[in-house]
């Protein structure tokens, strides 16, 4: 048997501890499957004295992750600290400069600095692996770079933040409003220290940017994502969408169009009977569409100790086997600069508004939509006990620009009792 593969692990939070547990528990299994013993040489974290529930005394300790990344007895630097810059980026760069392979779960760092890191790694003949950075335990990176390598990918779509999916499905189940369920999720520890990373769609957008690069052979372009979180979704939208056969999801979509690369992370309506519509709680789902395979649906836990550590170890096993491939599926220096789409592809839209209860109000709204080139597919008007009449409209396919033109014109009709809500309906 060949020499052991020696790891240096920076970051001993939930995922780092999970990696240690897997290596300690499954040492014989890992060796049998890779033909190589996998060991831990050294670790690094903010506090050495903290009890993490796993024995760490047999490993060398480094206070500085950069020092860990450059140790002579480390073959693979495992970066599990997080953060787009700072110690994580410095240690990753140091590891590559020192000739070490790198495994990371750091989606933010890859979304912002992935191109430069990929070029550095590939120029040195090193692996930079990151299965754990996207969708937790779902092997979506391997699916795109390996299993679907012969396909021209036409669309990547999915629910990539379990916290947001928990909030939206819990709102529907409980009938409670966004603020109440947000507080509940925060109390359960489901949200990041900065909750805006979750509910603002930033965390999920980091993941989408990475998958988009692999799928379409472009440089990672996080800034090119049209980004909108779930903060404005009300219980009224949840119940109204359900009444019309839809569910609301924070949906990431990337597709190459004649207008360029379209990347969106925003709340959308999806059919309630679709796989995405049936997705509950904190689970993630990624839908991959290709010219030969048509559609592949991957579902699984998007976070947590076991699932994310499992994804880290998948990369460890590949390196132990000597398996290597370009960071984003093709050489980094061949990735094209992403040409951002000038507009979104047309789609149906869901519109919700309150109208002043007086004759001709609905006719004015229909006229404004028609003037903007937006036709109505179906409409519902609900009973009410006050002066505002709730109205729901589903349009035929329209551009977002046309929808925005209509919404702006509605403000001047004098019949709105509340500001309209417009959500895209994604066809699956």
Q: Is the pLDDT of residue 378 over 80?
A: yes
Residue 415, token pair as written in the block:
């019949």
Integer Cα distance of 396 and 131 in angstroms: 39
pLDDT at 274: 95
Residue 76, token pair as written in the block:
């693979």
Q: Residues, the chain, total?
A: 428
pLDDT at 394: 95
The answer to whether 426 touches 255, Cβ cutoff 8 Å, is: no
Integer Cα distance of 352 and 126 in angstroms: 52
pLDDT tier at 1 (50, 70, 90 boundaries)?
A: low
pLDDT at 385: 58
> Which tens digits make up the pLDDT trace of 158-170?
999 999 999 999 9
Secondary structure class of 45 (helix, strand, coil)? coil
Q: Does domain 349-425 have CATH number 3.30.360.10?
A: no
Q: Is the pLDDT of residue 400 over 60?
A: yes
Residue 21, token pair as written in the block:
């547990």
Domain boundaries, the chain: 5-104, 140-302, 349-425
The secondary structure of residue 147, as a DSSP letter, is I
pLDDT at 196: 92
Integer Cα distance of 207 and 199 in angstroms: 14
What residues act catalytically?
Answer: 207
Q: Domain spanning 5-104: which superfamily? A: NAD(P)-binding Rossmann-like Domain (3.40.50.720)
Q: Chain-wide mean pLDDT for the chain?
A: 94
Q: List alpha helices for 105-249, DSSP H.
A: 107-123, 140-142, 162-174, 178-187, 196-199, 202-216, 235-243
pLDDT tier at 327 (50, 70, 90 boundaries)?
A: very high
Prediction pTM value: 0.94
The set of long-range contacts for 28-32, using a CB threshold of 8 Å and a minimum separation of 24, is 30/313, 30/316, 30/317, 30/320, 31/1
Secondary structure class of 403 (helix, strand, coil)? helix
By C-alpha distance, which of 334, 330, 261, 256 is closest to 291?
256
Architecture of the 140-302 domain: 2-Layer Sandwich (3.30)
At 310, give phi and psi (nearest 5°).
-60, -40
The answer to whether 252 touches 157, Cβ cutoff 8 Å, is: yes
> Which tens digits make up the pLDDT trace of 337-366?
999 998 889 999 999 999 988 888 999 999
Integer Cα distance of 381 and 353 in angstroms: 10
Q: Which residues pair with 422 in a beta bridge?
A: 351
By C-alpha distance, which of 107, 134, 122 is closest to 314?
134
Instruction: Count CA within 13 A, CB hemisphere, residue 378.
Output: 5
* Tokens 């787009």 sit on residue: 84
> Which tens digits make up the pLDDT trace of 17-45?
999 999 999 999 999 999 999 999 999 99
Concatenated DSSP letters of 53-99: SS--TTSEE-SSHHHHHT-TT-SEEEE-S--SSHHHHHHHHHHHHTT
Residue 173, token pair as written in the block:
């189940």
Degrees, nearest 5: CA angle 171-162-299: 115
Secondary structure class of 26 (helix, strand, coil)? coil
């Amino acid at each position: 048997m060949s020499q052991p593969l020696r790891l240096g692990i920076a970051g001993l939070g939930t995922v780092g501890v999970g990696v240690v547990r897997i290596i300690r528990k499954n040492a014989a299994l890992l060796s049998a499957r890779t033909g190589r013993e996998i060991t831990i040489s050294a670790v690094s974290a903010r506090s050495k004295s903290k009890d993490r529930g796993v024995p760490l005394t047999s490993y060398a300790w480094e206070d500085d992750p950069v020092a860990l990344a450059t140790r002579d007895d480390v073959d693979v630097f495992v970066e599990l600290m997080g953060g787009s810059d700072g110690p994580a980026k410095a240690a990753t760069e140091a590891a590559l400069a020192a000739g070490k392979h790198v495994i990371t779960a750091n989606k933010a760092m890859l979304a912002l600095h992935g191109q430069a890191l990929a070029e550095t790694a590939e120029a040195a003949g090193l692996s930079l692996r990151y299965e754990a950075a996207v969708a937790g335990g779902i092997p979506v990176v391997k699916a795109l770079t390996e299993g679907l390598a012969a396909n021209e990918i036409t669309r990547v779509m999915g629910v990539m933040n379990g916290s947001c999916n928990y909030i939206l499905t819990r709102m529907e189940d409980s009938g409670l409003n966004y603020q109440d369920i947000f507080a509940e999720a925060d109390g359960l520890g489901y949200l990041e220290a900065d909750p805006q990373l979750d509910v603002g769609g930033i965390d999920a957008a980091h993941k989408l940017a990475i998958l988009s690069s692999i799928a379409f052979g472009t440089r990672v372009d996080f800034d090119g994502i049209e980004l909108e979180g779930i903060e404005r979704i009300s219980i009224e939208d949840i119940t109204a969408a359900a009444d019309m056969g839809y569910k609301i999801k924070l949906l990431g979509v990337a597709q190459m169009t004649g207008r360029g690369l379209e990347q969106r992370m925003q709340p959308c309506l999806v059919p309630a009977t679709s796989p995405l519509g049936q997705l509950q709680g904190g689970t993630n789902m990624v839908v991959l569409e290709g010219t030969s395979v048509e559609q592949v649906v991957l579902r699984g836990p998007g976070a947590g100790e076991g699932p994310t550590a499992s994804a880290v170890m998948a990369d460890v096993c590949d390196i132990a086997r000597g398996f290597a491939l370009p960071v984003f599926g093709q050489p980094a220096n061949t990735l094209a600069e992403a040409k951002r789409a000038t507009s979104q592809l047309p789609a149906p839209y869901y519109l919700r508004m309150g109208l002043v209860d007086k004759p001709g109000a609905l006719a004015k709204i229909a006229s404004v939509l028609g003037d903007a080139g937006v036709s109505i597919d179906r409409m519902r008007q609900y009973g009410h006990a006050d002066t505002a009449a709730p109205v729901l409209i589903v349009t035929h396919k329209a551009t977002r620009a046309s929808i925005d033109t209509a919404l702006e014109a509605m403000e001047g009709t004098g019949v709105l009792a509340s500001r309209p809500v417009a959500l895209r309906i994604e066809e699956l």
